[in-house]
Structure 1
Amino acid sequence: MNKMEQKHTPGPWYVNDFSGYHNLYDKPDYNANNLLDEDQCARAPHNAKLAAAAPELLDALQELIEVATEYYKMVFDRDVPADHYAISNALEAIKKATE
């Protein structure tokens, strides 16, 4: 499957707490660039759109895992293996977003 052209800043992204101010950064330290500030990041508008879509993307990913798991069981008459790359990657992304 081909990935669509990505206009946002590639990951990883970090949530840093600098004096009680949470934001998205490109590094986990004080030399980081704020990924939502156009003065620090040319791709800030695209990053903001991705961040705004995150709740819907999370919901869609959770639904997709449910459907894929049910489909796998229906076709193969067994549960999805715990190490299935796509499912395990999706579950890790959900865990990162919800911890």
Structure 2
Amino acid sequence: MDSRLKDRIAVITGGGSGLGKATALRFADSGARIVIADITSNDVEKEINKKHGNDKAIFVKCDVTSEDNISSMVKEAASWGGRVDIICNYAGTAQYHPFLESLM
């Protein structure tokens, strides 16, 4: 394990899967404490805590389309870690827009 991010508090939205999960795992390997912010857990925080020890990661349910959810997540992250050093946004949202239909 390298220690470039030792004891940094990293919030990763969309951290339950895909690039967010990969980033969470890599940051944990570099010593960071991780806040997985996603709609569903997928147990990434459990995987990190099992590998690196308890209290290295938490899951906070957060829908990034809700300002109230985002505000609550940031407060919980800061309360857990004392501060927030890094934020990575991998959460995505999609809205249907009939692009081709609007061109006709």
Structures share fold, TM-score greater than 0.5: no
TM-score by length of 2: 0.24
Tell me the TM-score normalised to structure 1 length: 0.25
The structure where helix makes up a greater share of residues is 1
Please state which structure has a larger fraction of its residues in strand.
2
